[in-house]
């Protein structure tokens, strides 16, 4: 049997406490409750992947994802890991409604392949690794906690802030104003997580303008299926519109391009996996759209994997890979600095030793 054949798979729970609840307009995480998926090749090489479960966003559950990882994983035993392109197609056909499971399998698969080849994962996506600097998220919270968090992260060295809004427009305005005052000339991104409609978004942005606040972009301001709202905002609001939940796969990306429904697309492995995520990036850039790399509530494993994609491709304008900073008592990430800088140039093979 070839050294690159898949010999074993394993699935286990990954539960980590958070420093504070991660609140958005769609709900909140009180802990990180994910799944780890491991692949062992016939030469003993191990690859690691992570399925990040966000039931309040995607509808996926821990139970269903665990069952799918075990069932689909067993079907991969005996297959050559070097056929990862064909395996990716199989996963998209088999797991169309459980992309977190798909992402975990692809992650483990490509981690194992690049470890076997003794090359860093980013090298699959480009000839060199760019240094990335992530933003930091200010979650929905009281005005007092909002200001405290903004000042803390600014002092820590962050200079790009992503502010979660979408629950209460009046309070959202106050929170954005407080953050902007605390972080001086730092970059501001607004993420409504589908919490507004077209009219609310226009009023919100107009009010910010009165305060002299011009966000770099506003992410998913309206419900994901409100294509008309996305199109009208992209055409009229004067602030770049980023499609997140609206773009779940390559077909959605093509629709956004054809309908002119966004200026920016947020690529997340938990929506598309690595292979299709790369293809979405190629398609979006060829149409003149800008790119964000983001994620769900993920550990350093999945976040660093996403960083490999972005660092290797080198075509991402916005980096939102900050969830390791919300985890309590997690293992230090050797490739992530305290002020949010990902430097993967020292990774010798695969994703790197982050778990």
User: Which is catalytic among the residues 111, 172, 244, 298?
Assistant: 244
> Which candidate in 111, 219, 226, 249 is catalytic?
219
Of 115, 112, 110, the C-alpha closest to 125 is 110
Residue 75: which residues within 8 A CB-CB, separation 6 or more?
none
pLDDT of residue 113: 98
Q: What's the pLDDT at 1?
A: 53
DSSP assignment of 82-125: GGHHHHHHHHHHH-TT-HHHHHHHHHHHHHHHHHHTT-BGGGGT
Q: 274-280, long-range: CB within 8 Å, 24+ apart, which pairs?
A: 274/88, 274/103, 274/106, 274/107, 274/110, 274/305, 274/309, 275/84, 275/85, 275/88, 275/106, 276/88, 276/92, 276/249, 276/250, 277/309, 278/125, 278/309, 278/313, 279/250, 280/247, 280/249, 280/250, 280/253
Q: What are phi and psi of 2, to 5 degrees?
A: -65, 155
Detail the DSSP E strand segments found in 122-272: 132-133, 136-138, 160-164, 187-191, 217-219, 241-243, 264-268
Q: Is 195 helix (H, G, I), strand (E, B) or coil?
A: coil
Provide the 3-class DSSP secondary structure of residue 6. Answer: strand
The DSSP secondary-structure symbol of 130 reads: P
Cβ-proximal residues to 108 (8 Å cutoff; 6+ apart), any chain: 37, 38, 39, 47, 48, 49
What domains, with CATH codes, occur in the chain?
6-118 (3.30.390.10), 122-342 (3.20.20.120)
Q: Which residue is catalytic, options 268, 298, 320, 322? A: 268
Catalytic status, residue 298: no
β-strand pairing of 264-268 with 241-243: parallel
Among 37, 35, 58, which residue's Cα sits nearest to residue 47? 37
Write down the catalytic residue from 106, 191, 226, 320. Answer: 191
244 is catalytic: yes
Residue 164 annotated in active site: yes
Nearest to 133 by CA among 349, 340, 294, 351: 340
> Which residue from 144, 217, 231 is spatially nearest to 179, judged by alpha carbons?
144
For 39, the enclosing helix (H) or strand (E) is strand 27-41
Per-residue pLDDT tens digits for 281-338: 999 999 999 999 999 999 999 999 999 999 999 999 999 999 999 999 778 899 999 9
Active site residue 341: no
Torsion of CA 268, 270, 275, 279, to 10 degrees: -40
Across the strands, what pairs with 51? 35
Residue-level pLDDT, tens digit, the chain, 355 residues: 588 999 999 999 999 999 888 878 777 788 899 999 999 999 999 999 999 998 888 899 999 999 999 999 999 999 999 999 999 999 999 999 999 999 999 999 999 999 999 999 999 999 999 999 999 999 999 999 999 999 999 999 999 999 999 989 999 999 999 999 999 999 999 999 999 999 999 999 999 999 899 999 999 999 999 999 999 999 999 999 999 999 999 999 999 999 999 999 999 999 999 999 999 999 999 999 999 999 999 999 999 999 999 999 999 999 999 999 999 977 889 999 999 999 999 999 999 988 7
Set 164, 226, 252, 320: catalytic member: 164
Rg (CA), the chain: 20
191 as an active site residue: the answer is yes
């Amino acid at each position: 049997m070839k050294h690159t054949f898949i010999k074993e798979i394993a699935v286990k729970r990954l539960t980590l406490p958070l420093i504070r609840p991660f609140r958005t307009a769609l709900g909140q995480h009180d802990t990180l409750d994910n799944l780890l998926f491991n692949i062992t090749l016939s030469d003993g090489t191990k690859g690691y992947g992570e399925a990040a479960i966000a039931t309040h966003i995607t509808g996926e559950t821990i139970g269903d994802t665990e069952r799918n990882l075990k069932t689909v994983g067993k079907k991969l035993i005996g297959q050559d890991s070097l056929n990862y392109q064909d395996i990716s197609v199989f996963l998209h056909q088999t797991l169309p409604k459980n992309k977190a499971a798909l992402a975990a399998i692809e992650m483990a698969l490509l981690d194992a392949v690049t470890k076997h080849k003794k090359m860093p994962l980013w090298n699959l996506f480009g000839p060199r690794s760019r240094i990335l600097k992530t933003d930091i998220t200010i979650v929905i919270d009281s005005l007092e906690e909002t200001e405290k968090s903004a000042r803390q992260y600014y002092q820590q060295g962050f200079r790009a802030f992503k502010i979660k809004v979408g629950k209460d427009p009046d309070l959202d305005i106050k929170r954005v104003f407080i953050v902007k005052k605390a972080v001086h000339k730092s970059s501001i991104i607004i993420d409504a997580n589908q919490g507004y409609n077209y009219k609310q978004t226009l009023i919100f942005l107009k009010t910010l303008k009165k305060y002299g606040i011009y966000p770099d972009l506003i992410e998913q301001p309206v419900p994901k299926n409100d294509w008309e709202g996305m199109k009208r905002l992209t055409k009229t609001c004067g602030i770049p519109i980023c499609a997140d939940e609206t773009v779940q796969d390559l077909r959605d990306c093509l629709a956004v391009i054809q309908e002119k429904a966004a200026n920016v697309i947020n690529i997340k492995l938990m929506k598309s996996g690595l292979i299709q995520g790369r293809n979405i990036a190629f398609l979006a850039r060829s149409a003149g759209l800008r790119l964000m790399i983001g994620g769900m509530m993920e550990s350093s494993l999945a976040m660093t994997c996403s960083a490999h994609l972005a660092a290797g491709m080198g075509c991402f304008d916005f980096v939102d890979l900050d969830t390791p900073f919300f985890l309590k008592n997690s293992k230090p990430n050797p490739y992530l600095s305290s002020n949010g800088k990902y430097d993967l140039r020292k990774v010798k093979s695969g994703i790197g030793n982050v778990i």
